Structure 1
Amino acid sequence: MKLSEIKQLLDNEFKARNSILELCYEKPDPLFIAQRYQDESIALICALFAYGNAHQIIRFLESLEFDLLDESEERIRKRLASHYYRFQKSEDVIAIFIALKRLRDRESLENIFYQGYQKENNLLDGLWALIQAIRASYPHESYGYNFLVGKTPEKRSAAGTYKRYLMYLRWMVRKDSLDMGLWSKVAKKDLLMPLDTHSFTVSRKIGLLQRKSCDMKASIELTERLRTFDPNDPIKYDFALYRLGQEKLL
């Protein structure tokens, strides 16, 4: 496909998908749950558990009592003692709730992110600051928790996709019929493409992406290509690319 044809395809898909009707039980997406609460901490929990079967993600998120983020740590431990999801045991679910409770009691996630981001308007610096703050607020080590929360890479060039975090940042920074736009300090032009299997495969198939590895370098490459379509809002095409792959429309 020519670049002009790709742009037309994605522009059409963006317009068609930019509707709250895209978020429903028939088309499960973790944003469907996050939208109900309009809260940065709840949205982050929804994003971090966004892996695996979409219907199972929704069922798990609906089983959580998000008001526990404003309750005592003792109550969090008691109420979440039987909750688990795939790689995460109950102690991992408890850990992320307590970590975010402690952070929200003293600082917003946006301000924590901004402390890293503001130096060079670099999204990854903000992301590393956020991950480090989460891990420091409630030190906990396990395979499930490390998978859920992630760690900062020793070298930026060795970073994975951080797909769930980049998706979360899209929700927080962009504002339209889907994304919530709860943050005001980060520019949407600086967002990076959240790459999952669907968006990676579709992007390679239509010629937007040459890199064969689904990693941060691929995310940056795809973002740069999408900036030629819309330099001020390149990630607006994320949901369209995802749905094109998920619904097997190409």
Structure 2
Amino acid sequence: MNKTELKQFLDEKVIQYNHPKFIESDPIQVPHLFSLKQDIEIAGFLTATIAWGNRKMIIKNAHKMIDLMGNSPFDFVMNHKKEHLNTIDNFVHRTFNSDDFSYFITALNHIYKNYNGLETIFQNSATKNSLQPAIHQFKNVFFEINHLKRTEKHISDPLKGSAAKRINMFLRWMVRNDAADVDFGIWKHLSPAQLSCPLDVHSGNVARKLGLLKRKQNDAKALAELDSNLRKMDKLDPVKYDFALFGLGVFEKF
């Protein structure tokens, strides 16, 4: 299909999948439990952090994380005592264990107390057309207090070659404001035009079949190539096509 036909095809798929029913089978259902901005942010960030592997297990373990925080993630982050972290001792999702979870809670407390929250860090380091440098700076801030070296692997760095799929997904949730109420759009100081597609095996394979991506690895260079092509179709909201690429890959086995 030509470029016009491709855009029309993908726009139709966006309408199909950027729909409230999408929430039912997606990890985004976890932050949708909340209405307080900080609860949504923390639940979304933790959920996105463990979003690799089997989707049902991701959702199950994300709900478990929230349950271990008393179903009040912001209150737990800000007011927990050291002994409260003992309640998460048995948590594990693949290579993300209770030590990692405990540090994430501590680091989030540090960020909300000293940086006025997650959004501030990203908006202060964003460029006009990209949040990838902001992800790099966020990782620096997140790990600026004492931590286990092993925990660093759970936040990717696009400036070191990673596609940073999970944190780009989190940013889509927070920044992009859609009419379907799937993405939250609660971060008002950043624009959907700055977002990058959460590139994973599904969206990558579909993008290659559609001619939107030539690079074989799902890395930072591939993400830049895909971003460029998606922005040609919609420069104001390029990552809406994540719904189309992901839906075609996961639900339609395209």
The number of residue pairs the alignment matches comes to 240
**Structure 2: which amino acid aligns with 1:100?**
L
Q: 1:130 to 1:168 in 2, by over 3 A?
A: same
Which residue number in structure 2 is paired with residue 113 of structure 1? 122
Which residue number in structure 2 is paired with residue 192 of structure 1? 196
Q: Residues 62-121 of structure 1: CA distance to partner in whole angstroms, max 9, x if unpaired?
A: 112235223324144222111111102211111111111221233211111122115x55
Distance 2:91 2:185 in 1: 30
Moved more, 205-214 or 65-74: 65-74
1:76–1:98: 8 Å Cα contact kept in structure 2?
no
CA RMSD, 1 decimal:
1.7
Which residue number in structure 2 is paired with residue 20 of structure 1? 20
> How do 1:139-154 residues align onto structure 2 when only pairs under 5 Å count?
139-142=147-150, 145-150=151-156, 152=157
Which residue number in structure 2 is paired with residue 171 of structure 1? 173
Q: Secondary structure at the match of 1:100?
A: helix
Q: Secondary structure at the match of 1:23?
A: helix
Distance 1:224 1:32 in 2: 29
Q: Residues 180-227 of structure 1: CA distance to partner in whole angstroms, max 9, x if unpaired?
A: 011011121111111000000000011111111211111111111111
Distance 2:198 2:45 in 1: 14
The sequence identity of aligned pairs, in percent, is 31
Q: Secondary structure at the match of 1:224?
A: helix
Which residue number in structure 2 is paired with residue 10 of structure 1? 10
Q: Secondary structure at the match of 2:162?
A: coil
Distance 1:149 1:101 in 2: 17
Which residue number in structure 1 is paired with residue 78 of structure 2? 70
Q: 1:210 to 1:121 in 2, by over 3 A?
A: closer
Q: Secondary structure at the match of 1:136?
A: coil
> How do 1:1-250 residues align onto structure 2 when only pairs under 5 Å count?
1-24=1-24, 27=25, 29-38=26-35, 39-64=40-65, 65=69, 66=73, 67-106=75-114, 107-117=116-126, 122-142=130-150, 145-150=151-156, 152=157, 156=159, 158-176=160-178, 177-250=181-254
Distance 2:77 2:245 in 1: 33
**Structure 1: which amino acid aligns with 2:172?**
R
**Structure 2: which amino acid aligns with 1:126?**
A
TM-score by length of 2: 0.88
Distance 2:252 2:234 in 1: 25
Distance 1:189 1:110 in 2: 16
Q: CA deviation at 1:138?
A: 4.6
Q: Secondary structure at the match of 2:33?
A: helix
Distance 1:140 1:100 in 2: 15
**Structure 1: which amino acid aligns with 2:187?**
W
TM-score by length of 1: 0.90
**Structure 2: which amino acid aligns with 1:12?**
E
